[in-house]
């Protein structure tokens, strides 16, 4: 019994009091896109909160889910930020990756096209530019096309063009007819005269968007490191929501944009509207992804959504009063 209470006291202490005076843990974390949805990483870093919680962090840009997964599994990075489907797919393939938190439990892209395209029926036979197959924009595109009665394989041409700056440039060069963009690139597209004719936010698809991912092997090896990292991100979300000026500076640094309108809209959308104080992964979003994967992967059929997430570190923070204290509740 004494040992149990000692363990409880240790967890409570780690939740409520950051480590001080100890050498920082060196941690690598990767991100997969330059977009408003992943700005929270830079906010947490620039604010000094990761250092406060005992981390010396190197941020790496690794595009493509399979490459990011391989880096996690090999131990080259300890944490990664990318959309949920890549983690679910890797888990079904035998990897021990697991979702710790999901910053966005919906798809937040918007469709942009030339002014001539005004309604979904106009999309038949058109060329679409996406980041890559299996990425969040590809997933959202296919969901929306099917909702509109179009077959993504038969009725459209989908091209992999990379990040949002490249896709916006392709739209301007008339190499594609349509692309999906997130803030702050949506503002740039509007300023260039392109038509925003649909928003995935308005379509309210359940989804696992931008997520913080690690491996179960790391949790087993160093549970308290993972616990502290989750706590740092929850505190970073509070900073993001309550320190607008500093957060906008991080958005500008991360996206390399200086347009005040784009920066303001990005902050309001992600920090205020879309991101929860406690970003639990959406189990319904996992189920939707599994349902889609089951069409191609028999292992997805009947899989338990709870097997892909590890919410206990967030639950500890909630139960300890840490989050309520942050927000003055």
pLDDT, tens digit (0-9, with 9 covering 90-100), for 49-59: 999 999 999 99
Is pLDDT above 70 for 5?
no
**pLDDT exceeds 80 at position 68:** yes
Which class does domain 110-203 fall in? alpha beta
pLDDT number for residue 255: 86
Band (pLDDT 50/70/90 cuts) for residue 23 is confident
Average pLDDT over residues 201-213: 89
Confidence of residue 21 (pLDDT cuts 50, 70, 90): low
Q: What's the average model confidence in pLDDT over 109-122? A: 91
Claim: this prediction has a pTM higher than 0.75? yes
* Identical topology for domains 2-106+207-326 and 110-203: yes
Residue boundaries of the structural domains of the chain: 2-106+207-326, 110-203
Closest to 41 (Cα-Cα) out of 33, 31, 51: 31
Per-residue pLDDT at 327:
94
- pLDDT recorded at residue 20: 54
| Alpha-carbon dihedral angle through residues 167, 169, 173, 178, given to the nearest 10 degrees | 30
Q: What is the pLDDT of residue 219?
A: 98
Residues 6+ apart with CB under 8 A from 246: 43, 46, 47, 239
- Average pLDDT for 82-93: 91
Predicted confidence band at 204 (pLDDT cuts at 50, 70, 90)?
confident
> What would the CATH number be for the domain defined by 2-106+207-326?
3.40.190.10
Cis before 184 (ω within 30): yes
Task: Give bridge partners of residue 159 from the DSSP assignment.
Answer: 129
pLDDT for 110 beyond 90: yes
Question: What CA–CA distances, in Å, run from 37 to 4, 94, 211, 218?
Answer: 40, 28, 10, 25
């Amino acid at each position: 019994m004494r040992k149990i209470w000692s363990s409880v006291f240790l967890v409570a202490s780690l939740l409520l009091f950051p480590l001080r005076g100890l050498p920082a843990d060196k941690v690598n974390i990767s991100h997969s896109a330059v977009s408003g949805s992943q700005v929270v990483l830079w906010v947490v870093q620039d604010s000094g909160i990761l250092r406060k919680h005992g981390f010396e962090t190197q941020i790496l840009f690794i595009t493509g889910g399979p490459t990011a997964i391989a880096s996690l599994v090999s131990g080259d990075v300890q944490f990664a930020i990318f959309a949920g489907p890549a983690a679910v797919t890797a888990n079904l393939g035998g990897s021990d990756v697991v979702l710790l938190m999901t910053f966005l439990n919906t798809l937040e892209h918007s469709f942009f096209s030339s002014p001539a395209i005004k309604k979904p029926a106009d999309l038949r036979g058109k060329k679409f530019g996406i980041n890559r197959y299996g990425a969040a924009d590809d997933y959202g595109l296919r969901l929306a096309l099917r909702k509109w009665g179009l077959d993504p394989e038969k009725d459209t041409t989908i091209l992999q063009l990379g990040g949002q700056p490249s896709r916006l440039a392709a739209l301007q060069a008339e190499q594609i007819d349509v692309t999906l963009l997130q803030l702050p690139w949506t503002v740039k597209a509007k300023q260039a005269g392109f038509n925003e004719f649909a928003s995935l936010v308005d379509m309210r698809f359940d989804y696992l968007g931008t997520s913080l991912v690690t491996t179960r092997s790391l949790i087993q090896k160093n549970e308290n490191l993972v616990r502290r990292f989750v706590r740092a991100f929850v505190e970073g979300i509070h900073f993001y929501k309550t320190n607008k000026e500093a957060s906008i500076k991080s958005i500008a640094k991360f996206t390399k944009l200086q347009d005040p309108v784009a920066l303001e809209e990005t902050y309001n959308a992600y920090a205020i509207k879309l991101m929860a104080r406690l970003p639990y992964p959406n189990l319904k979003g996992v189920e939707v992804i599994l349902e889609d994967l089951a069409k191609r992967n028999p292992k997805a059929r009947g899989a338990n959504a709870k097997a892909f997430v590890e919410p206990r570190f967030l639950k500890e923070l909630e139960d300890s009063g840490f989050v309520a204290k942050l927000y003055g509740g």
